[in-house]
Chains A and B, each alone.
Chain A
Amino acid sequence: MHVKIALVMLLSVVPAFIEDSRVRCLSALTASIILFFIITIWMNRLKGEVDTKYEELGERRIREFKTIIQVVVSLLKEKSMITPVLVAQLREVIDQTETAAIEIGDKFMSIVGRARNQASVASEAFQKLSSNGNGSGEALLDISKKALSGVISSLQDTASLTGRTLSEMELIIEDTVSIRKIVSEIEYIAGQTNLLALNAAIEAARAGDSGRGFAVVADEVRKLSDRSNAAANDIRKLVVKVETDIKGIYGTTHNSVSENRRISCEAEKTVEQTLKSIDTTMSEVSAQLDSLTGGARSLAQDIGSIVVSMQFQDITRQRIEHVIEPLISFKREFEEMEQKTDIAEESLLTDQASTAGRLEKTYTMESERDVIRNVLGAAHV
């Protein structure tokens, strides 16, 4: 190469040393032509060398590029292979969430139903309790109040009646006193009559035979006075007995009236307290029932809202389906591309078993592994 350059430089310099201008020009022209040919030949050789090197380089690059494409296609094939597994997993997720959402919804609806039923039963029970059950609308409490007031009133009436009986007994006792006075009067009259009869008998005896008839009369009068006296005694005894009996009854009745009044007063107080207590209890039960009914209503609304939130499942399902569609599309398009491409099949062969194995290792649940087996077959796992 250096010799060629030196020769060229010599050729281009030599004409400068020739004196004759014609010869110099001719030499220069000849040197230029020779130089042109030399440079042309040199350039052609250089071009050949460059072309050879470029071709070698291109072939190497193509080989490298093919290798890269083969790696990429292998990776895509591997991903394409697991696409059905991913799609099946996603569909399983859809099914499981839908089943769970429905079950949750059913449970919540059941809770709402039971809460409403309980509130309704409690309300009905309170309605029955607070009414007399015959539909007249009169409150059971009012009926109870009336009945208890009636009992108190009866007790008070009984006490009053017994009081009047006591007054009448007092009158009877006063009457017995009068009767005893009359009996004393009768006894006195009987005594005086007896005395008169005795005097008459004495006078009849003194008159002799003429007074015999008078003596009989006097004797009869004395007998009558004895009988009157005996009758008066009987009456006195009876009156005393009646008086004693009535006084006994009076004492007992008097005690009974006092006891009755005390019981009646206590009963009245107890009834008032009981009615107040019933009133308070009924108000409390009513408030609690209102609270229960309100709570059931509120619970139903809350659960209704929760059930609304279950719409997430439908939204999630649609979003997953939107992921599934491009996955399926990717696999289909990849298979089409694979059919069209002339990339050596052997370079695309991928170890399906190892791919499935790697995928399986990432799963933690048996149901996930079942999906792989179902999609790729047990032999590949």
Chain B
Amino acid sequence: MAKTVLAVDDSASMRQLVSFALKDAGYDVIEAIHGKDALEKSGGSKIDIVLTDLNMPEMDGIEFIKQFRTRPGCKFTPIVMLTTESQESKKQEGTKAGASGWIVKPFKPEQLIEIVKKFVH
């Protein structure tokens, strides 16, 4: 059975890219446009890994990670940040909120798939 990836990004082109790469690699992808949307869409599904942007309207990535972690069964779900921010402080803020890793944009699909495979066996 295919693993499910929750891709959260306010940029439609980024969501398109992430979906394309992951669906091609055999994953199911649920897309969300910001943190609030992601919490609503992931409610009834088993999520195997989350890929989230940090700077988003409505609810940013850090707040989303914090709220996602409080959900039952989501405490150990891998969360990877997709961000243009390369500053160490931002990564630390995300890690402190509960993120498991990060990818700095722009990235190659192979890098994305490699990291997803690393977290999802």
Q: List A residues at the B interface (Cβ < 8 Å).
A: 98, 101-102, 105-106, 109, 304-305, 307-315, 317-318
Alpha-carbon separation in the docked complex, A23 to B29 (Å): 119
B109 adjacent to chain A (CB < 8 Å) = yes
Given A109-B20, A304-B21, A307-B20: A315 in contact with B13 (beta carbons within 8 A): no
Chain B residues in 8 Å Cβ range of A109: 20
Chain B residues in 8 Å Cβ range of A318: 55, 84
A311 close to B107 (CB less than 8 A): yes
B90 adjacent to chain A (CB < 8 Å) = no
A98 close to B12 (CB less than 8 A): yes
With A101-B13, A314-B9 given, name 4 new contacts (CB 8 A): A102-B16, A308-B17, A311-B106, A315-B84
Alpha-carbon separation in the docked complex, A309 to B107 (Å): 9
Question: Is the contact region of chain A dominated by helix, strand, or loop, or is it mixed?
Answer: helix
Given A98-B13, A314-B84: A304 in contact with B106 (beta carbons within 8 A): no
Q: Who on chain B is nearest to A315 by CB?
A: B84
B13 close to A314 (CB less than 8 A): yes
Q: C-beta contact mask, B1-22 vs A, less than 8 Å → 1, else 0?
A: 0000000010111101100110
B66 adjacent to chain A (CB < 8 Å) = no
Say how far B21's CB is from chain A's closest CB, in angstroms: 7
**Chain A to chain B: the 9 pairs with minimum beta-carbon distance, closest first:** A311-B106, A101-B13, A314-B11, A314-B14, A313-B13, A105-B16, A304-B109, A311-B105, A102-B12
Say how far B29's CB is from chain A's closest CB, in angstroms: 13
Q: C-beta contact mask, B65-94 vs A, less than 8 Å → 1, else 0?
A: 000000000000000000010000000000
Alpha-carbon separation in the docked complex, A101 to B12 (Å): 9
Count B-side interface residues using an 8 Å CB cutoff.
17
B41 adjacent to chain A (CB < 8 Å) = no
Q: Who on chain B is nearest to A314 by CB?
A: B11
Chain B residues in 8 Å Cβ range of A313: 11, 13
Q: Who on chain B is nearest to A109 by CB?
A: B20
A98: contacting residue among B11, B17, B106, B109, CB under 8 A: B11
Alpha-carbon separation in the docked complex, A313 to B17 (Å): 11
Chain A residues in 8 Å Cβ range of B20: 105, 109, 304, 307
Alpha-carbon separation in the docked complex, A109 to B17 (Å): 10
Q: Who on chain A is nearest to B21 by CB?
A: A304
B117 adjacent to chain A (CB < 8 Å) = no
B108 adjacent to chain A (CB < 8 Å) = yes
Selected A-B contacts with CB under 8 Å, 14 pairs: A102-B12, A102-B16, A105-B17, A109-B20, A305-B108, A307-B109, A310-B16, A310-B17, A311-B17, A311-B106, A313-B13, A314-B14, A315-B84, A317-B11
Q: Who on chain B is nearest to A304 by CB?
A: B109
A308: contacting residue among B9, B11, B108, CB under 8 A: B108
Q: Who on chain A is nearest to B85 by CB?
A: A318
Chain A residues in 8 Å Cβ range of B106: 308-309, 311-312, 315
Chain B residues in 8 Å Cβ range of A98: 11-13
Say how far A101's CB is from chain B's closest CB, in angstroms: 4
Within 8 A of A (CB), among B24-46: 24
Alpha-carbon separation in the docked complex, A314 to B11 (Å): 6
Say how far B34's CB is from chain A's closest CB, in angstroms: 14
